[in-house]
Structure 1
């Protein structure tokens, strides 16, 4: 991957929406994550799909619906403060 894109399972793990990459991949492969990229919304089915800054993600986790915009990709799975800097919740989220 480049500096402009990141695998969705890696991003969900770095942003602390999943404890492991395996759990993040399972969530994606079940079709639980929707991605809006350049105005086109798709339901993701593979953990290897890319996410870019500016994309929107919608998914349910723990009985809560998350609707967020990807702000950054991150370089590691850091502390919660660092993870929260990777996204911004939208008004609906």
Structure 2
């Protein structure tokens, strides 16, 4: 079998594993997410050096999206996108529909900081005003 699958049941570093299965572009970004509290293993906050193995559940925030994955095989070398499903099971909820995202009011880029009047109008649209 391929080199990155040797001893796939052993435990590996968390930051190395989430980088290897392409959840982050760099290992340093994966470690920063762990240090920032954006990664949880089996429900508890995780450090970059924490060991993960098969059947561990990892919850992380990537670019504002919640991802839930279960480790199938612990690897350290980065693998191709076609091999990733052999190493993890993605249990993430489906993304919200585009209609919901489009209904959030957005300011034009470069329009500057909202005035007090603008903020009150935004709050009124959101239904936050009492």
Q: Answer yes or no: same fold by TM over 0.5.
A: yes
SS in 2 for 1:13: helix
Contact kept in structure 1, 2:12 and 2:76, CA below 8 Å: no
For 2:48, the equivalent position in structure 1 comes to 47
TM superposition shift of 1:92: 4.0
Gaps of 5+ in 2: 1-6, 95-130
SS in 1 for 2:83: helix
Out of 22, 38, 60, which is 1:16 matched to? 22
Higher helix proportion: 2
User: Which stretch shifts more, 62-71 or 26-35?
Assistant: 62-71
In the alignment of these two chains, the number of paired residues is 87
Q: Using structure 2 for the length normalisation, give the TM-score.
A: 0.60
CA distance change for structure 1 residues 47 and 91 in 2, over 3 Å: closer, same or farther? Answer: closer
Out of 1, 4, 10, which is 1:4 matched to? 10
User: Which stretch shifts more, 72-81 or 46-55?
Assistant: 72-81
TM superposition shift of 1:91: 6.3
Higher relative contact order (CA 8 A, sep 6+): 1
Cα shift readout 1:50-89 (whole Å, capped 9, x = no counterpart): 1111000111112221111111112421211112321111
CA distance in 2, matches of 1:75, 1:10: 6
CA distance in 1, matches of 2:31, 2:14: 8
Gaps of 5+ in 1: none
Q: Using structure 1 for the length normalisation, give the TM-score.
A: 0.82
